[in-house]
Amino acid sequence: MKALVTGCVGQDGSYLCELLLSKGYEVHGLIRRSTAEDLQRAHLPGLKNVIFHYADMTDYGPLASVIRSVQPDLVFNLAAQSHVAVSFQNPVYTFNVNALGANRLLEAIREHCPKARFYQASTSEMFGLSPSPQNEETPLKPQSPYAISKCAAHYSIRVYREAYKMFVVSGILFNHESPRRGSEFVTRKITKALARIKYGKQEKLKLGNLEAKRDWGYAPDYVSAMIQMLEQDVPSDYVIATGEQHTVLEFLELAAEIAEVELPGHLEIDSSLMRPAEVPDLRGDASKARKELGWKPTISFEELVRKMVEHDLEVESH
Provide the residue type at 261 as one letter.
V
Report how far residue 99's alpha carbon sits from residue 263's, in angstroms, rounded to the nearest whole number: 40
Report how far residue 123's alpha carbon sits from residue 240's, in angstroms, rounded to the nearest whole number: 9
pLDDT exceeds cutoff 50 at 229: yes
Helix (H, G, I), strand (E, B) or coil at 131: coil
Average pLDDT, the chain: 94
Provide the residue type at 282 as one letter.
L
pLDDT exceeds cutoff 90 at 277: no
- Of 125, 160, 191, 222, which residue is the catalytic one? 125
State pLDDT tens for residues 72-91: 999 999 999 989 989 999 99
State pLDDT tens for residues 214-228: 999 999 999 999 999
146 is catalytic: yes
Domain with 270, as residue range(s), is 178-215+244-282+299-316
Whether residues 151 and 206 share a domain: the answer is no
CATH number at 185 reads 3.90.25.10
pLDDT exceeds cutoff 70 at 43: no
Whether residues 36 and 142 share a domain: the answer is yes
125 is catalytic: yes
302 is catalytic: no
Residue 315's alpha-carbon distances to 201, 203, 309, in angstroms, are: 12, 17, 10
- Of 15, 25, 119, 146, which residue is the catalytic one? 146
Whether residues 161 and 187 share a domain: the answer is no
Residue 287 lies in a domain: no
pLDDT class of 40 with cuts at 50, 70, 90: low
Whether residues 223 and 121 share a domain: the answer is yes
Residue 12 lies in a domain: yes
Report how far residue 37's alpha carbon sits from residue 9's, in angstroms, rounded to the nearest whole number: 10
- The number of folded domains in the chain is 2
Residue 119 lies in a domain: yes
Find the farthest-apart pair of alpha carbons in the chain and give their distance in angstroms, rounded.
59
Residue 165 lies in a domain: yes
Residue 294 lies in a domain: no
Residue 293 lies in a domain: no
- Of 6, 94, 123, 187, which residue is the catalytic one? 123
Residue 290 lies in a domain: no
| Element of type H or E holding 54 | strand 51-54
Report how far residue 140's alpha carbon sits from residue 239's, in angstroms, rounded to the nearest whole number: 13
